[in-house]
């Protein structure tokens, strides 16, 4: 398999060097073909995601296919403006000259996609890679085999193999891919695997984007509209069965309103998924047995305020509220990535700070409050990838906002034109005039020292 991978990469590099992918009208046409194929296969994509972990058609349309079609529309519409050379002001010190920025593709890129949003998080970076003029190899997750198959079929229908290819397999295949030299690597997944990807990229000084995760806090003070807050938290937390990197990981709630919040959360869970969420067509399953076992162990010996129903034969864990877990518990040691929601009370802002800063920088942070001064303070006080006041996860939907982490929650950001920028090298070019050559910069310098500080101001 390693030889096959090497041959495929070499074929893509040769294809890239022929210059076919650098032609902007060609890129635009291939994006249109990709859009058409996804629209034609949308029902198949929905069926595949349901087969993989019972993801509902509505959630698939919302967070997978329609999201991607929107990104394709944006790229098709704006590709000419994104790829256009940008003229910038020339510096006086270079007089006479002109200056510009040329956006060029990196070359052959590797995209490693996760299992939680397996279609969206494979195709979204691909759109940027193609729009920027790269060739690409996609490694979809082996944990969602039906979706991986659909991705492979769509790519084969649109692209020649030496332009874009899908390589399927387990972690051994991922390891083999990472042993090769790439021009760019885009990885979405856990911080633990992100470290492995980063180490592999470092061997060749390959640039990377790492879209990871973390323990995302959700702060609720006594001025919040609790019923509305509960509704929005339940939606953001239990969307995709809680298997969302930007989902609220734990709640920090003012102690005097905790009981009221828990009751509202219970009511909203029942309103969304009925008394028995297992029978709801809108509630997904845990992706596989390993993740089910990991999550089910996290609630052992915890005070379950609501839910806690599990069924291993169906990889089912109900939406579960956990009251006041110890910060030293397994539940609170790392990102949960499932339908378990710890609720911890606080009595002071100092407690909020102490808890949040005891973890690595999160991918997202949420605060529910009608005190503008308090919510603004929280947003400025902590470091995180992206945040929302009085809602959850909706920042992801705005293509004009960068999406990415900081520190352990990720490196780099994308969405909209930033996805194009991620896969583009912006190189600078200065054209110097020949009709004048100011002698000041040339040696000997002995009589020119007084000009140094003046020259610095002319840059």
Which residues are tagged catalytic? Answer: 211, 245
Q: How far apart are CA 286 and CA 283, in angstroms?
A: 10
d(CA 296, CA 277): 17
Measured CA to CA, the distance from residue 17 to residue 14 in angstroms comes to 5
Residues facing 307 on adjacent strands: none
Q: What Rg, from alpha-carbon coordinates, does the chain have?
A: 25
Closest CA to 340 of 300, 299, 303: 299
């Amino acid at each position: 398999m390693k030889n096959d991978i090497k041959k495929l990469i070499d074929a893509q590099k040769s294809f890239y060097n022929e210059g076919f992918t650098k032609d902007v009208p060609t890129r635009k046409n291939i994006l249109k073909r990709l859009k058409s194929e996804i629209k034609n296969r949308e029902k198949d994509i929905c069926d595949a995601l349901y087969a993989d972990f019972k993801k509902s058609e509505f959630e698939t349309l919302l967070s997978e296919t329609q999201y991607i079609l929107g990104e394709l529309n944006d790229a098709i519409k704006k590709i000419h403006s994104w790829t256009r050379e940008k003229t910038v002001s020339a510096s006086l010190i270079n007089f006479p000259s002109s200056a510009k920025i040329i956006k060029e593709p990196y070359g052959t890129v590797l995209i490693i996609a996760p299992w939680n949003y397996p279609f969206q998080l494979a195709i979204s970076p691909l759109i940027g890679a193609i729009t920027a003029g790269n060739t690409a190899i996609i490694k979809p997750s082996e944990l969602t085999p039906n979706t991986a198959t659909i991705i492979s079929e769509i790519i084969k229908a649109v692209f020649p193999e030496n332009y874009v290819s899908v390589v399927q397999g387990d972690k051994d295949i991922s390891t083999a891919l990472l042993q090769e030299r790439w021009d760019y690597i885009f990885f979405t997944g856990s911080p633990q695997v992100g470290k492995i990807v980063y180490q592999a990229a470092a061997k060749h000084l390959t640039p990377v984007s790492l879209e990871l995760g973390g323990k995302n806090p959700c702060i609720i003070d006594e001025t919040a509209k609790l019923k509305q807050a509960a509704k929005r938290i339940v939606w953001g937390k239990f969307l995709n069965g809680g298997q969302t990197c930007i989902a609220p990981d734990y709640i920090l709630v003012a102690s005097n309103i905790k009981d009221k919040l828990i009751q509202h959360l219970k009511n909203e869970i029942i309103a969304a998924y009925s008394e028995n969420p297992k029978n709801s067509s809108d509630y997904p399953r845990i992706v596989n047995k390993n993740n089910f076992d990991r999550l089910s162990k996290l609630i052992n010996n915890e005070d379950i305020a609501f839910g806690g129903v599990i069924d291993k034969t169906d990889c089912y864990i109900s939406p579960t509220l956990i009251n006041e877990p110890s910060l030293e518990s397994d539940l609170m040691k790392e990102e949960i990535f499932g339908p378990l929601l710890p609720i911890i009370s606080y009595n002071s802002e100092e407690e909020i700070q102490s808890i949040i800063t005891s973890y690595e920088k999160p991918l997202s942070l949420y605060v529910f409050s009608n005190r503008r001064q308090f919510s603004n303070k929280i947003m400025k006080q902590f470091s995180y990838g992206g945040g929302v006041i009085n809602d959850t996860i909706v920042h992801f939907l705005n293509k004009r906002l960068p999406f990415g982490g900081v520190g352990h929650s990720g490196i780099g950001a994308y969405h909209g034109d930033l996805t194009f920028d991620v896969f583009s090298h912006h190189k600078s070019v200065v054209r110097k005039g020949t009709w004048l050559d100011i002698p000041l910069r040339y040696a000997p310098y002995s009589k020119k020292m007084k000009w140094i500080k003046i020259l610095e101001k002319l840059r």
